[in-house]
Structure 1
Amino acid sequence: MKITVIGAGAIGGNLARKLSTAGHDVQVAVARGPENVPAEVLESGARAVTPDTSVQDRDVVILAIPFDRVPQLAELFASVPAETMVIDTSNYYPHLNGHIDGLDNEQVESLYNAEQLGRPLVKAWNAALAATQQTKGVPAGTPGRIAVPVAADSDEARRVAMRLVDDTGFDPFDAGRLADSWRQQPGTPAYCTELNVKELEAALAAADRAKAPRTRDDLMERFAAFTSAPTLEEVVEMNRSAHH
């Protein structure tokens, strides 16, 4: 497939490398121009392009940028064909993104972003830590393979995104419509807890919409208290323990 990844940070760079390795035609765009795409992001065959050309003639565009920057792309996406699938990987954190009234009153994050861009979105890869995505992807059929939820209103878009999740080393899980993607947002049992398919299904079902923001903010306070950066294992365990 012809795929553009907007963003070349920990998640965007990882997706560009993995999807290139899987045989897809991958382009990478960052706001500061193609010369600022790190060389290691391109080592598997992805190409650096300018933002204004990055979304033309593509099957899929993946947004791997901070949540608060998504609305800034509205003008860029105004000319993108309706059939181009757009995947949102971002998450809302008020202490990073600033408070947004609708989201603070239980509006679904990717529905908000869909409104900002004026087009449907798919939610995927948001519920796995960058380090998990970089280090724990394994071939299909590997015992204990970590699952990643995918939500979208279009059945076909969901199927396509699930195939791409599989290509990056994780079991894709059909998480239903975009309105249900609050179940994979920060503070829920499915968020960044490294679960297999069966465990993820139970975690999505157990999500508490009212409780999730409080859990998210409590976890952020606990992480801020660390005197040194926690390990991946410590982060996952803290996320899991918040729901015990």
Structure 2
Amino acid sequence: MVEHVPIDLRRRALLSAAGVLTIEGVLLATTASGQTSSAPKMKIGVIGAGHIGGTIGGLWARAGHAVFFSSRHPEQLQDLVARLGPLAQSGTVDQAIAFGDVVLIAVPYGAVPQIGRDYSKLLAGKIVLDANNAVASRDGAIAEEVEHNGIGVTSQKYLPGARLVRAFNTLSYMIFEREANRTAPRLAVPIAGDDQEAVGVAARLVRDAGFDPVEVGKLADASRFQRGAPGYGQNVSAAELRHKLSLTP
């Protein structure tokens, strides 16, 4: 006897399977081969479309990802969006967070606590790439907290609930722009996070931007490549960075 499955149940099963396939597709590029062309493209929100946010977001848009740029003055982002084409758009911060499967934050570090206060509920559960650096002369007392506790731990404190990964903080936007997708060996970008799935997605996005990810460890280990640390400012290959930080290949 053939069992007849109600249409609603079959539809739910198909949708569930599609969801699993989507997650698997996002993580496809975390393998050692670094091949990303067959992976589904992602939706990325960018908070702070200045030098780093605009440059890295632009590299993602050129790689085929949909990117939503935001800032305190979104009307000033029209030239950037027009230059990048139909995969780029701009608006408010809450719109960027709602849009993105992943969110990149690239702002002066002193603004991080306010972002947490204003948007922590929206960011909860999201994969968030933290590209911010603490500069004492600009950011004040929070730079001392970063120096004492480490930047990864401090960022997580102010962005509770976010699936945080440190990335894209070690070099200037001019180097990122110039060195993206260079011939092998590609430029290394260190990353660190406590959520392994989030780290895997970050590694894929580092590759898609045109660089080689180097996993340094947990968020506490992000202090090894924060501003002033040995891993900071290293315009080197992945193998060279692993050697400098005594990481296992």
TM range, normalised to the smaller chain? 0.7 to 0.9
Assess, with a 3 A threshold, how the Cα gap between structure 1 residues 103 and 82 changes in structure 2: closer, same or farther.
closer
2:159 alignment partner in structure 1: 117
For the residues of structure 2 that align with 1:22 and 1:52, how far apart are their CA atoms?
A: 24
For the residues of structure 1 that align with 2:82 and 2:195, how far apart are their CA atoms?
A: 31
Larger radius of gyration between Structure 1 and Structure 2: 2
Residue of 183, 198, 216 corresponding to 1:175: 216
Residue of 113, 116, 120 corresponding to 1:71: 113
For the residues of structure 2 that align with 1:116 and 1:83, how far apart are their CA atoms?
A: 14
Residue of 40, 62, 67 corresponding to 2:80: 40
1:145 alignment partner in structure 2: 186
Structure 1 segment 197-208 matched on structure 2, within 5 A: 197-205=238-246
Residue of 140, 143, 150 corresponding to 1:98: 140
Residue of 12, 21, 25 corresponding to 2:66: 25
For the residues of structure 1 that align with 2:232 and 2:121, how far apart are their CA atoms?
A: 33
Task: State the identity as a percent.
Answer: 35
- Comparing 61-70 with 35-44, greater Cα deviation is found at 35-44
2:172 alignment partner in structure 1: 129
Q: Quick one: which amino acid aligns to residue 156 of structure 1?
A: E
When the two structures are superposed, what TM-score results if normalisation uses the length of structure 2? 0.76
- CA-based RMSD of the aligned residues comes to 1.8
| Equivalences, count | 202
Q: Quick one: which amino acid aligns to residue 218 of structure 2?
A: R
1:56 alignment partner in structure 2: 98
Partner of 1:43: helix, strand, or coil? helix
Preserved contact between residue 123 and residue 178 of structure 1 (Cα < 8 Å): yes
Preserved contact between residue 13 and residue 41 of structure 1 (Cα < 8 Å): no
Assess, with a 3 A threshold, how the Cα gap between structure 1 residues 54 and 92 changes in structure 2: closer, same or farther.
same
Preserved contact between residue 65 and residue 90 of structure 1 (Cα < 8 Å): yes
Preserved contact between residue 17 and residue 43 of structure 1 (Cα < 8 Å): no
Assess, with a 3 A threshold, how the Cα gap between structure 1 residues 46 and 193 changes in structure 2: closer, same or farther.
same
Q: Quick one: which amino acid aligns to residue 238 of structure 2?
A: V
Preserved contact between residue 170 and residue 232 of structure 2 (Cα < 8 Å): yes
Q: Quick one: which amino acid aligns to residue 72 of structure 1?
A: Q
Assess, with a 3 A threshold, how the Cα gap between structure 1 residues 124 and 42 changes in structure 2: closer, same or farther.
farther
Structure 1 segment 157-176 matched on structure 2, within 5 A: 157-176=198-217
Partner of 1:68: helix, strand, or coil? helix
Partner of 1:48: helix, strand, or coil? strand
Kindly indicate which of the two structures has a greater share of residues assigned to helix: 2
Consecutive aligned runs of 4 or more in structure 1 exceeding 3 Å deviation: none
Assess, with a 3 A threshold, how the Cα gap between structure 1 residues 57 and 131 changes in structure 2: closer, same or farther.
closer
For the residues of structure 2 that align with 1:78 and 1:99, how far apart are their CA atoms?
A: 21
Q: Quick one: which amino acid aligns to residue 76 of structure 2?
A: N
Assess, with a 3 A threshold, how the Cα gap between structure 1 residues 167 and 95 changes in structure 2: closer, same or farther.
same
Assess, with a 3 A threshold, how the Cα gap between structure 1 residues 200 and 41 changes in structure 2: closer, same or farther.
farther
1:225 alignment partner in structure 2: none
Q: Which has the higher contact order (CA 8 A, sep 6+)?
A: 2
Ranges in structure 2 where 5+ consecutive residues have no aligned partner: 1-41
1:231 alignment partner in structure 2: none
1:138 Cα deviation from its structure 2 partner: 1.3
2:195 alignment partner in structure 1: 154
